[in-house]
A and B are shown apart, each in its own frame.
Chain A
Amino acid sequence: MKDMLEIRWHGRGGQGIVTAAVTLGDILAPEGKYVQAFPEFGAEKRGAPILAFTRISDKPIRLRSQVTNPDIVVVADPSLLGLVDIKAGTNDNAIIIVNTSLEPGFIKEKLNLHPRKVYTLDAYTIATEEFGRPIPNVPLLAALMKATSLLPKEKFKERIEKSLSKKLRPEIVEGNLRTIDRAYKEVKGE
């Protein structure tokens, strides 16, 4: 069953992690991948801890249960660390990406994540500096791309530009694209 990549997104209601989960599916589908992206089947309340999921496979995806053994975990808000069990269901090969200004080694030790690979970046600061709002989705997606090489950077940028341009003003799209360059430079892995 594990010829499929499963991603669990941790965030807070209103942060847009469902959009992040969906965007990841959207930008990988043109590669001929089968994708699935959906919110946790729970109550979504602004500010409350919520989950979203993405599945990516070379074959049609039939599984409809929630993701319980993710290969990749993305944590979109640092205040969730210690509050929710971010490593639940992961095995030793899992990749964990955290939006935080703290060092990956520190997170790894504090949350007992060894031997999983941990990446950190300060996505709030990056997003705030580049387009004025602490929306961490695009820099986090960029960190995920860098950690996994699912898409080459330029192709990833193109697809994000196309995806964001459907809904956002050009200057916000531009700002988000700048966060990609910064995230690729600033993400740290250990």
Chain B
Amino acid sequence: MSKIVTLNGNMAIAEAIRQINPDVVAAYPITPSTSIVETVAQYVADGLIDSEFVCPESEHSAMSVCIGAAAAGGRVTTATASQGLALMWEMLYIAAGLRLPIVAAIVNRALSAPINIHGDHSDTMGARDSGWIQIYSENAQEAYDNFIQAFRIAEHPDVRTPVMVTFDGFIISHSLETMKIEDDEAVKKFVGEYSPVYPLLDTDNPITVGPIDFTDFYFEHKVNQLEGIENAPKVIEEVGKEFGKRFGREYGFFEEYRMDDAEVAILLMSSAAGTAKETVDELRAQGKKVGLIKLRVFRPFPARKLAETLSRLKAVAVLDRATSPGAEGAPLFVETRSALFDYPERPKIINYVYGLGGRDITPEHFHQVYRKLEKIASTGKVDQYYGYLNLRE
């Protein structure tokens, strides 16, 4: 039986880890992900799970331990944020390159400088080309649900690619909310037993992991590695559907909110989507044809699906909680605009950066964006395609 509980995002992840009972948890505490690591350490100390808990001297080492343990054939998880993820950077590429199905909970937090502990997506956007699958969560419920599904996706024989499940620092990680926790056995059954494909500990079938590979075959092997993430969409879809069947909450690549006859829409990820839905409801009550798309899977990017949905609109605002200095807009915007390029019918598209360093975003800010979109839709003109929301001037 599932039960209704009040948990914050970090405790929801700790609960999922308790239920899944992975072989190895290797993590180094960093705000705002610390309480995940503390709580899991407590579970191990209390004998609630029999995971091997390793707390090495840094996040770089934590990911290295994850890589070693996953290569040995273990089911492995970790949690980190911000500078911690940045310090993992070179090891992230190795985890993906070795096709190790590690699952990481990333509590989104701004990157220094200046030092800031609050939520934005700079950290995971910095890891977007590392080869990891990236799944973003609106709230603690989704973080929990996504984290459970992540093991199935990562470990699927056609995928065998690491997955990071993210949620906004403090706004979700430290916010208590009413949510559903599924039964221990049901979660274990959903995740299933893990059978590694080429475990190092299978000494009867010795293999080499991480050898040198020069101009002769590096290119071919690199392209082969991409197969995992290229196969992921089908698996992400299947797992999301099966999760829905089992637990009543179905997941796809993105959520369409009141999009049926929408003429303008906002596209964004994570916690701000909740606030934006309130604004959509207010505007819909006034008869305005506005909608919202909340992207869940950023890597692999569901370009075609997203473009098909967006192409029938008059105007779209893409909201990014990160910047891409020197680029033609922030990451989600650039990907989305590129995805629309091949569609003869495509909407006007603008980009706002919001919420850096945890800056609050309220319904009023979404009203501001929808007003702008309505103006663009009626005039067909974009005067400025890039801007900042709730920036002090």
- The chain A residues found within 8 Å of chain B, CB to CB, are 1, 22, 25-26, 29, 33-39, 41, 43, 60-66, 68
Q: Binary interface profile of B, 152-180, with partner A (CB < 8 Å = 1, else 0)?
A: 00000000000000001011101111100
Interface status of B35 (Cβ within 8 A of chain A): no
Using known A-B contacts A64-B171, A65-B361, determine if residue A38 contacts B176 with beta carbons closer than 8 Å. yes
Q: How far is the CB of A42 from chain B (nearest CB, A)?
A: 8
Query: In the bound complex, what is the Cα–Cα distance between A62 and B175 (angstroms)?
Result: 12
Interface status of B308 (Cβ within 8 A of chain A): no
Q: Binary interface profile of B, 323-337, with partner A (CB < 8 Å = 1, else 0)?
A: 000000000000000
A63 contact from B6, B119, B176, B274, Cβ within 8 A:
B274
Tell me what chain A mostly uses at the interface: helix, strand, loop, or mixed. loop
Verify A35–B360 contact, CB threshold 8 A: no
Interface status of B278 (Cβ within 8 A of chain A): yes
Taking A1-B282, A68-B362 as known contacts, 5 extra A-B pairs with beta carbons closer than 8 A to each other, sorted by chain A number, are A22-B176, A41-B170, A43-B117, A62-B278, A63-B274
A41 contact from B6, B272, B282, B358, Cβ within 8 A:
B358
Verify B274–A64 contact, CB threshold 8 A: yes
Interface status of B212 (Cβ within 8 A of chain A): no
A33 nearest in chain B by CB position: B178
Query: In the bound complex, what is the Cα–Cα distance between A189 and B361 (angstroms)?
Result: 35
Q: How far is the CB of B116 from chain A (nearest CB, A)?
A: 9
Verify A64–B272 contact, CB threshold 8 A: yes
Verify B6–A25 contact, CB threshold 8 A: yes
Q: How far is the CB of B192 from chain A (nearest CB, A)?
A: 30
Q: Which positions 347-363 of chain B face chain A at CB distance < 8 Å?
A: 358, 360-363
Query: In the bound complex, what is the Cα–Cα distance between A22 and B174 (angstroms)?
Result: 10
Using known A-B contacts A41-B118, A41-B170, determine if residue A26 contacts B360 with beta carbons closer than 8 Å. no
Interface status of B391 (Cβ within 8 A of chain A): no
Q: How far is the CB of A35 from chain B (nearest CB, A)?
A: 5
Q: How far is the CB of B82 from chain A (nearest CB, A)?
A: 15
Closest CB pairs A-B (n = 10): A62-B274, A38-B175, A65-B362, A37-B176, A34-B178, A64-B271, A29-B6, A41-B358, A64-B274, A64-B275
A-chain residues with CB within 8 Å of residue B272 when the two chains form the complex: 64
Verify A62–B176 contact, CB threshold 8 A: no
Q: Binary interface profile of B, 95-127, with partner A (CB < 8 Å = 1, else 0)?
A: 000000000000000000000011100000000
Q: How far is the CB of B78 from chain A (nearest CB, A)?
A: 25
A-chain residues with CB within 8 Å of residue B8 when the two chains form the complex: 38
Verify B6–A38 contact, CB threshold 8 A: no
Q: Give the number of residue pairs across the A-B interface with Cβ within 8 Å.
A: 69
Q: Binary interface profile of B, 264-280, with partner A (CB < 8 Å = 1, else 0)?
A: 00000001101101100
Residue from A35, A36, A66 having most chain B Cβ neighbours under 10 A: A36
Query: In the bound complex, what is the Cα–Cα distance between A41 and B109 (angstroms)?
Result: 12
Interface status of B4 (Cβ within 8 A of chain A): yes
A-chain residues with CB within 8 Å of residue B271 when the two chains form the complex: 64
- The chain B residues found within 8 Å of chain A, CB to CB, are 4-6, 8, 117-119, 139, 168, 170-172, 174-178, 271-272, 274-275, 277-278, 282, 358, 360-363
A-chain residues with CB within 8 Å of residue B117 when the two chains form the complex: 43
Query: In the bound complex, what is the Cα–Cα distance between A41 and B168 (angstroms)?
Result: 12
Verify B174–A65 contact, CB threshold 8 A: no
Verify A60–B171 contact, CB threshold 8 A: no
B170 nearest in chain A by CB position: A41
Query: In the bound complex, what is the Cα–Cα distance between A13 and B117 (angstroms)?
Result: 17
A1 nearest in chain B by CB position: B278
B176 contact from A1, A36, A41, A43, Cβ within 8 A:
A36
Verify B178–A39 contact, CB threshold 8 A: no
Using known A-B contacts A29-B6, A35-B178, A41-B118, determine if residue A62 contacts B277 with beta carbons closer than 8 Å. yes
A43 nearest in chain B by CB position: B117
Q: How far is the CB of A31 from chain B (nearest CB, A)?
A: 11
Query: In the bound complex, what is the Cα–Cα distance between A34 and B174 (angstroms)?
Result: 16
Using known A-B contacts A29-B4, A65-B362, A68-B362, determine if residue A36 contacts B177 with beta carbons closer than 8 Å. yes
A-chain residues with CB within 8 Å of residue B175 when the two chains form the complex: 36-38, 64
Residue from B119, B168, B178, B277 having most chain A Cβ neighbours under 10 A: B178
A-chain residues with CB within 8 Å of residue B363 when the two chains form the complex: 1, 63, 65
Query: In the bound complex, what is the Cα–Cα distance between A34 and B177 (angstroms)?
Result: 7
Query: In the bound complex, what is the Cα–Cα distance between A1 and B366 (angstroms)?
Result: 15
Verify A61–B177 contact, CB threshold 8 A: yes
B-chain residues with CB within 8 Å of residue A39 when the two chains form the complex: 170, 174
A-chain residues with CB within 8 Å of residue B358 when the two chains form the complex: 41
Verify B6–A26 contact, CB threshold 8 A: yes
B-chain residues with CB within 8 Å of residue A26 when the two chains form the complex: 6, 176
Q: How far is the CB of A160 from chain B (nearest CB, A)?
A: 15
Q: How far is the CB of B354 from chain A (nearest CB, A)?
A: 11
Verify A65–B118 contact, CB threshold 8 A: no
B5 nearest in chain A by CB position: A29
Q: How far is the CB of A128 from chain B (nearest CB, A)?
A: 28
Query: In the bound complex, what is the Cα–Cα distance between A77 and B275 (angstroms)?
Result: 31
B-chain residues with CB within 8 Å of residue A38 when the two chains form the complex: 8, 170-171, 174-176
A-chain residues with CB within 8 Å of residue B174 when the two chains form the complex: 38-39
Contacts A/B (CB < 8 Å), 28 sampled: A22-B176, A25-B176, A29-B6, A34-B178, A36-B175, A36-B176, A36-B177, A36-B178, A38-B170, A38-B174, A38-B175, A41-B171, A41-B358, A61-B274, A62-B275, A62-B277, A62-B278, A63-B275, A63-B278, A64-B139, A64-B168, A64-B171, A64-B175, A65-B360, A65-B361, A66-B360, A66-B362, A68-B362
